[in-house]
Structure 1
Amino acid sequence: MPFRRLQSKLLKDRAMRRSPLIRRHLPETRPYHPYVLKRMLNQHSTVFVKPDKGSQGRGIVRLKRSKHRGIHISWGLNKRKVKRKFMIRALHQRLRPYQSYIVQQGLQLTKYHNRLIDIRVFLQRPGSKWLISGKVVRVGAAGRFVTNYSQGGRPVHLHKVLDSIYHHDPQRVEATIQKVDQIAYHAAAALSSKFRGIRVLGIDIGLDRSGRVWIIEANTRPGTQLFKKLKDQSMYQTIMTNYKNIARRRR
């Protein structure tokens, strides 16, 4: 392929964290260790344990504190509650041996029609500058805590979702879109300055209930299915045109 792929979530997080412009938009992310997990659960009501080199939302486990010192452990559509002292044992039953994992702070993300959402910003660099080729909201399937298309997520136009969330306030909608664009561009700059050869990025951005914007993850080989599924094909066509331009420059 005519562009570089970087799998490690931890390496991408560290590269973005070097930028003071976006550092405060990154949830706490650490290499997995039982001690780290316990400490982070003391600080955050919810944490996620993710494969460092996973994709499509596979293998992610959510741990959430309950009111009575128990821990709710969720994976896929499954859930169980365990006593805190048995948490690590229960978690390790869900993890693959010899695979590296990260622990990430859980966020209180806003919802759309009672479904979890995030924003996929698709960036490409066919020339010397990064361009946003498309933005779409990923709406998670019922009962799931991930929004990936492969896990039943569906695409909805960004304006439509923000208009609903912000109760038809056009100024707040436009301000949020501008903030999302700004953060995505800063993330792309931070990643491409550290890892030469990256020309395509899918930045997953979450909005919490207070309106704060977060970078959940950055992908160096994002899928195009979300944009292809939209009735309006203009963003998908832009993405494919930019792919051709990237390939042409590398010949």
Structure 2
Amino acid sequence: MPFRRIQSKLLKDRAMRRSPLLHSHLPETLPYHPDVLKRMLDRHAVVFVKPDLGSQGRGIVRLKRIKHGGVHISWGLSSRRVNRKYMVRALHQRLRPYQPYLVQQGLQLTKYHHRLMDIRVFLQKPGSKWLISGKVVRVGAAGRFVTNYSQGGRPVHLSKVLDSIYRHDQQRTEAAIQKIDQLAYHAAAALSGKFRGIRVLGIDIALDRTGRIWIIEANTRPGTQLFKQLKDQSMYRTIVARYQRIKYMNRIHRRK
């Protein structure tokens, strides 16, 4: 079952969190409940409320502590300020009833040209080993706190962005790329160890302002549009070729 999809962000987070190598690189993430939200906002200046089964950055709400007991609530390109005692009521106006949500620690992320960014690592398993088929930076659209392509994010080559962030320090750039690869492979091992049949993964990785590397979430059916939009099509061609290999291996398996 090479294209098995695991929708729940919480299930994937728990699978990765079992790994001692990944635990310190995962932001605090808990099932949503009003009391959980309040405790999380006590611990963190910013939190995100996300649909547990959501995708493409849709339905995410950001809550940020502000002075004098206020909370700044943002969704899409809209926002409002409320008193903290009315926070839950205001939030629930943005959430869909009867759908599961999670609360995730917000991070002080590094920006690229004053816009939020993260890194999509695309992994595939056409044989017995996971392979990184591509890495690209997703730069968010102006005014948005998500970087998804469907929400206006644009792709930029990873080396170009890291070279800018680390001020042309090649040693730091290479060390960061090595760490990103290491975390992506560990995440793939943790997820495929828990959920048999996963063959494709998109691991979303972010850098905070201190240089710490975080795994934001994992996607078991990642899109390829980011790579297709790059002028250099080599990573996109690799992804397509490996998809074909996975499909071929699946046909062989079914015949047995």
Rounded to whole Å, the distance in 1 between the matches of 2:83 and 2:142 is 27
Long gaps (5+) in structure 2 = 252-256
Query: What is aligned with 1:71?
Result: 71
Letter in 1 for 2:137: V
* Counterparts of 1:95 and 1:16, CA distance in 2: 27
User: Deviation string for 1:119-153 (max 9, x for gaps)?
Assistant: 00000000000000000000000000000000000
Q: How does 1:35-184 map to 2 (within 5 A)?
A: 35-184=35-184
Q: What amino acid does structure 2 have at the position aligned with 1:183?
A: L
CA contact (8 A) 2:180 2:205 kept: yes
Letter in 1 for 2:111: K
- Find the residue that maps to 1:20 and give its secondary structure: coil
2:198 aligned residue: 198
Q: How far off its partner does 1:67 sit?
A: 1.9
Superimposed CA distance per residue, residues 155-178 of structure 1 (whole angstroms, 9 cap, x where no aligned partner): 000000001111110000000000
SS in 2 for 1:203: strand
**Moved runs in structure 1, 4+ residues, more than 6 A?**
none
Q: Shift in Å at residue 4 of structure 1?
A: 0.5
Q: Residues 61 and 73 of structure 2 are in contact (CA less than 8 Å); yes or no, is this contact kept in structure 1? A: yes
CA distance in 2, matches of 1:30, 1:212: 21
Identity across aligned pairs (percent)? 81
CA distance in 1, matches of 2:2, 2:27: 31
TM-superposed CA distance for 1:68, in Å, is 1.9
- Report the TM-score, using the length of structure 2 for normalisation: 0.97
- The alignment covers a number of residue pairs equal to 251
Q: How large is the Cα RMSD of the aligned pairs?
A: 0.6
Task: State the SS of the aligned residue for 1:223.
Answer: coil
Corresponding position of 1:225: 225
Three-state SS of the structure 2 residue aligned to 1:218 is: strand
Write out per-residue CA displacement over residues 29-60 of structure 1, whole angstroms, 9 at most, x where no aligned residue: 00000000000000000000000000000000
Which residue of structure 1 aligns with residue 246 of structure 2?
Answer: 246
What amino acid sits opposite 1:4 in the alignment? R
Give, as a single letter, the amino acid of the residue that structure 2 aligns with 1:84.
R
Q: Distance in 1 between matches of 2:217 and 2:167?
A: 27
Q: Aligned equivalents of 1:202 and 1:83: distance in 2?
A: 37
Gaps of 5+ in 1: none
Name the aligned partner's letter for residue 198 of structure 2.
Answer: I
Separation in 2 of the partners of 1:58 and 1:12? Answer: 18
CA distance in 1, matches of 2:217, 2:146: 12
User: 3-state SS of the aligned residue for 1:147?
Assistant: coil
Q: Distance in 1 between matches of 2:170 and 2:216?
A: 25
CA–CA distance in structure 1, aligned partners of residues 210 and 183 of structure 2: 17
- Matched residue SS, 1:250: helix
Spell out, residue by residue over 1:194-239, the C-alpha distance to the aligned partner (whole angstroms, 9 max, x if none): 0000000000000000000000010000000000000000000000
